[in-house]
């Protein structure tokens, strides 16, 4: 399942229709605002999980977030990336 959709809450397990409807809601919200960042800001106001993810990433690059999350979960980032190669 898509992590972003699961963070939005109510993700219906393995139900592809639920996932598709949630994805369409995100697309429609982006279209309404005309700005993806503004749409994310609106979603963050409506959903505490999205706000938490945005706060976690604020001012950091993806590598920093990855390393921080690995350390919080007791994982070695180098070992994890080695498995992905």
DSSP 23-52: HHHHHHHHHHHS-HHHHHHHHHHH-HHHHH
Neighbours of 66 (CB within 10 A): 14
Taking phi first (over 0 means left), then psi (-120 to 50 degrees means alpha), and beta for anything else, what does residue 59 get? left
Considering only residues 32 and 11, tell me which one the structure prediction assigns the higher pLDDT.
32
pTM of full prediction above 0.75: no
Render pLDDT for 36-79 as a digit per residue (tens, 0 to 9). 888 888 888 888 888 888 888 889 998 999 999 889 989 898 88
d(CA 64, CA 67): 5
All structural domains of the chain with their residue ranges: 3-84
Residue 81 DSSP SS3:
helix
């Amino acid at each position: 399942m898509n992590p972003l959709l699961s963070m939005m809450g109510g993700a219906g397990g393995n139900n592809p229709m639920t996932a598709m409807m949630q994805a369409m809601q995100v697309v429609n919200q982006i279209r309404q605002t005309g700005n993806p960042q503004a749409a994310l800001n609106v979603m963050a106001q409506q959903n505490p999980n999205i706000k938490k993810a945005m706060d976690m990433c604020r001012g950091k690059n993806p590598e920093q977030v990855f390393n921080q999350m690995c350390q919080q979960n007791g994982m070695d980032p180098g070992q994890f990336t080695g498995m992905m190669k």
